[in-house]
Structure 1
């Protein structure tokens, strides 16, 4: 007779974004629908088509911010326990890559782990905007299979000139200073700082903030940067998460969408309709307030999703100007909505057609 699968719980979390420092600042901003976009002052944007992003005025280096959120998430874990806890890290690469022959991604990750007092780096994820969510899915799978104990997952991006220039040159950034997910009149995404950490471990030890009950990953194989218009890859990821959790769409209480205010929002709406049917699940995208944190986005959105589910309040889909018929969903508009279920889903998509879905459950 086989042993029952272990359960993967989130026992610590922390985040930094333009909404502020600390988990509660993220929740407060998301519930208020208070977008944090403003003029970029971190580097020169003269001559750029777009000059706005969501940046934290007092942000340190990426390494400093990663160590800070790891320390906060690991509060209550002793030094000896930390020394036996590995790090899974989602980043774009070494911040100085291309400018220094010794600036390697592996070296950067190892330095972060050492400064945070962790056992070392188990894996570095550089898979664009699904980096953090993929790391969480891998960690949950490993814990449930009994292959690992406590792990720390961290991911981070601070708005910097190279990626900003690429997105601006590609005309992907919003020209009106606001990200408007699923809205008519949306003009693009806006970048934002996103640095987060979560601690995952088998349920049964420390107090659990939320349980990772399901996850799914699927590829579009459609285009290098554009999503499948029908959203079929994302729909498969969502269905896989529901199946792993053993629940139906009617039991789901909230979806924190990937939507950024770009043209591809309609593909995600199609995916959610395909995967969830007529369940009428409330949806919003917290990118509407904290911006798109690239490699850091998935983990920041997981943190916000867990906090919202704990609070029993659903974040606002900010910046909405009016209904887009191609994005017909039950959007949370104007004010937070009471949660009707302890189950919440967060989804992410990345260039190359990668899609992830993470499903959490908080204590009812």
Structure 2
């Protein structure tokens, strides 16, 4: 049985080769033969690298880009012919290790065998901080640390500032106070084993900036933000205030209405962020009364930087607040928030919330 199968496979390859060569002959004699060798079988100048196959990719889209045709006599029509007759195996998503000087034939064989590189999963939850992001990267096996300091038992915000400085310098990020909060897109990612923190952070930063720029260009008119960065700050506050997607545009409206009326934002998550390492899980009266750069009970307008990593949904809600007159909101204690226009309505909602919470004790 095995001999017969081997014979059939050899016969199929021979037929494929004959068809391929027949197509090449149409391109012209000896010159065609040289071009075939240079394009399909000759070693290339490329170093070892990783090639990622994403959804929608094909052999043609991956291997007929201009940077693949880097040998002196390579010829794209021959590449297309080779792929047509020899790239028969389905492409599997993932990242593949391509050795140095690999020919077109070698790459097609590697992709066809599906010999993917082992992947590392990184989950960055929206609303987490840049400190959380750095800790995840340090604690995930298979990530090469080039920029971040090594894992330690105690990772303080002072350490975060040092890591921010290294990351900002390496990636060319300009940010107020050197704080990179909010500038990396939360999501679940797959990276090849051995990927550096530099590569990962670059991708997360590029993704977040692209999302922000696209949303900013299509934003509602007359929003009280002078720049995409100010909108990013607001998106981070919205992200921390509610995890309920249907509420985000209303929360956005509350803060827009407050800014337009020169009211302070008075949002608890900004108090927490401004405490940094001093936060112990509770907000005390003294924390509310303390004037920090971030405490929006004590400062006018926005804090100087984002306070978390906002999701694409929070960024979108920032650019498209609901057309509602709400000025206040408070948790219901039952999930979600109660929105109000007047202070009297808000005080009643607060009293109801306290009643619900007291019954739970």
Query: TM-score band (shorter)?
Result: under 0.3
Where is the helix percentage greater, Structure 1 or Structure 2? 2
Return the index of the structure with the highest Cα Rg. 2
The higher-RCO structure (CA 8 Å, 6+ apart) is: 1
Where is the strand percentage greater, Structure 1 or Structure 2? 1
